[in-house]
């Protein structure tokens, strides 16, 4: 379990984290999302004890579930945005190095490494130099190193950033497995499809947590309606300036339009089409909001 109470940190005039009180229950996969500079890394680093807060405090307890599997576990494992792997060491040498930093016995490291490498699919690459791994494999090695202490709580800062979708899926499969074995996970991500996979998601903006709930609850409290609109046009900004449209995004063959009042928005879009010389009718259907919609609304309008 992770709990923060009125946690705050400033860097000179910049308030990076502002009065943040969150509760990550034992057994959760807790997602942290928000725009660049929102304070996610600073919050995670304070939770991990790497930055001293100016205000407030952090409480950590290892989860009770799964303790049998992790008897000698340390409380917390941290995988920073840029994990310091040694490129001129092999996969196994990197693991040995990180294990040794925590004074874990060689034989124990070997035993755990075999299990972890098997889980992450890195076993065949055990003797490959870290520099010669793909981006996704490097992230998996970083995860393996963070897990060698068998932590009960795992904090990951954008672990899949820039990694291809196949690897991202694979990485999340591993996180789910660890979670099922009893590990509590806190993970920041720029990808909204990953936020959907969390049991709870906190949205940070300008140092504050402005919303925190399950993805289902965040989506159900979305105050707008979402339309998928098909128009034969190459003008991505066709509907952007309409007052009846809250947000419109163009995806090549369709628009995703966020509106307050569906009939009023339909009429305004039809009028815009006619005024733009676009023939044919507006093909429009209502769809459910996604975490992406919630994210955009929170980032731009701060309404939820
Ligand atoms: N060591 C530091 N010195 C000065 N300012 C800092 C420092 N670390 C962070 N900041 C500032 O604090 C704010 C929050 O930064 P932080 O890295 O925590 O945000 P973030 O949400 O993790 O963003 P990103 O996803 O871009 O890493 C930003 O304005 C950043 O420039």
Report pLDDT for 72: 39
CA of 33 to the centre of ligand 1 (A): 14
124 CB neighbour count, 10 Å cutoff? 9
Whose C-alpha lies nearest to ligand 1, atom 30?
Answer: 37
Cβ neighbours of residue 35 under 8 Å, at least 6 residues apart? Answer: 205, 299
Tokens at 31, concatenated? 């997602």
- C-alpha distance from residue 122 to each of 95, 134, 140, 241, 246 (Å): 12, 11, 8, 50, 46
Tokens at 266, concatenated? 């339909």
Helices (H), the chain: 40-47, 91-101, 106-120, 135-147, 165-180, 192-195, 215-220, 262-275, 291-300
Q: Which of 13, 35, 36, 37 for a ligand 1 pocket mutation test, highest count of atoms within 8 Å of Cβ?
A: 37
Q: Is the ipTM of this complex over 0.85?
A: yes
Whose C-alpha lies nearest to ligand 1, atom 24?
Answer: 36
Q: State whether the beta carbon of 41 lies less than 6 angstroms from ligand 1.
A: yes
Q: State whether the beta carbon of 4 lies less than 6 angstroms from ligand 1.
A: no
**CA-based nearest residue to 152, from 181, 129, 115, 121:** 181
Q: State whether the beta carbon of 17 lies less than 6 angstroms from ligand 1.
A: no
Torsion of CA 95, 87, 89, 150, to 10 degrees: 0
Tokens at 19, concatenated? 């009065």
Which residue's structure tokens are 């499809």? 193
Report pLDDT for 70: 40
Give, in degrees to the nearest 5, the angle at Cα 204 between 203 and 206: 150
Q: What share of the chain is helix, strand, coil (3-state, %, to 5)?
A: 35, 25, 40
- Cβ atoms of 41 and 188 within 8 Å: the answer is yes
Tokens at 73, concatenated? 């576990």
Whose C-alpha lies nearest to ligand 1, atom 8?
Answer: 42
* Closest ligand 1 atom to 12 CA: 4
Whose C-alpha lies nearest to ligand 1, atom 1?
Answer: 11
Report pLDDT for 190: 92
- Judge if pTM exceeds 0.90: no
Q: Which of 12, 15, 41 for a ligand 1 pocket mutation test, highest count of atoms within 8 Å of Cβ?
A: 41
Report pLDDT for 7: 97
Q: State whether the beta carbon of 38 lies less than 6 angstroms from ligand 1.
A: yes
Whose C-alpha lies nearest to ligand 1, atom 23?
Answer: 37
Which regions of the chain are under pLDDT 70?
62-74, 301-304
Q: State whether the beta carbon of 159 lies less than 6 angstroms from ligand 1.
A: no
Q: State whether the beta carbon of 80 lies less than 6 angstroms from ligand 1.
A: no
Tokens at 189, concatenated? 């991500």
pLDDT digits (tens, 9 = 90+) for 228-279: 999 888 889 999 999 999 989 998 889 999 999 999 999 999 999 989 888 7
């Amino acid at each position: 379990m992770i709990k923060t109470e009125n946690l705050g940190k400033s860097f000179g005039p910049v308030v990076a984290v502002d009065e943040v009180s969150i509760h990550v229950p034992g057994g959760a996969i807790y997602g942290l999302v928000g725009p660049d500079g929102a304070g996610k890394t600073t919050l995670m680093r304070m939770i991990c004890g790497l930055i001293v807060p100016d205000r407030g405090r952090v409480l950590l307890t290892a989860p009770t579930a799964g303790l049998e599997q992790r008897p000698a576990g340390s409380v917390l494992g941290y995988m920073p945005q840029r994990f310091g792997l040694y490129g001129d060491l092999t996969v196994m040498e990197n693991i040995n190095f990180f294990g040794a930093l925590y004074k874990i016995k060689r034989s124990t490291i070997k035993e755990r490494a075999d299990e972890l490498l098997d889980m992450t699919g890195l076993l065949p690459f055990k003797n490959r130099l870290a520099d010669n791994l793909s981006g996704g494999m490097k992230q998996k090695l970083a995860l393996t190193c963070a897990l060698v202490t068998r932590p009960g709580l795992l904090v990951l800062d954008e672990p899949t950033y820039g990694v291809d979708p196949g690897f991202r899926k694979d990485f999340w499969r591993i996180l789910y497995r660890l979670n099922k074995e009893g590990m509590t996970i806190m993970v920041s991500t720029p990808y909204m499809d990953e936020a959907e996979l969390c049991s709870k998601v906190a949205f940070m903006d300008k140092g504050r947590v402005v919303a925190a709930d399950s993805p289902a609850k965040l989506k159900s409290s979305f105050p707008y309606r979402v339309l998928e609109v098909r128009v034969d046009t190459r003008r991505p900004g066709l509907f952007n300036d309409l007052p009846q449209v809250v947000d419109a995004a163009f995806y090549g063959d369709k628009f995703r339009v966020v509106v307050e009042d569906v009939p009023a928005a339909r009429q305004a879009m039809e009028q815009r089409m006619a005024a733009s010389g676009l023939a044919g009718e507006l093909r429009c259907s209502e769809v459910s909001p996604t975490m992406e919609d919630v994210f955009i609304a929170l980032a731009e309008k701060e309404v939820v």
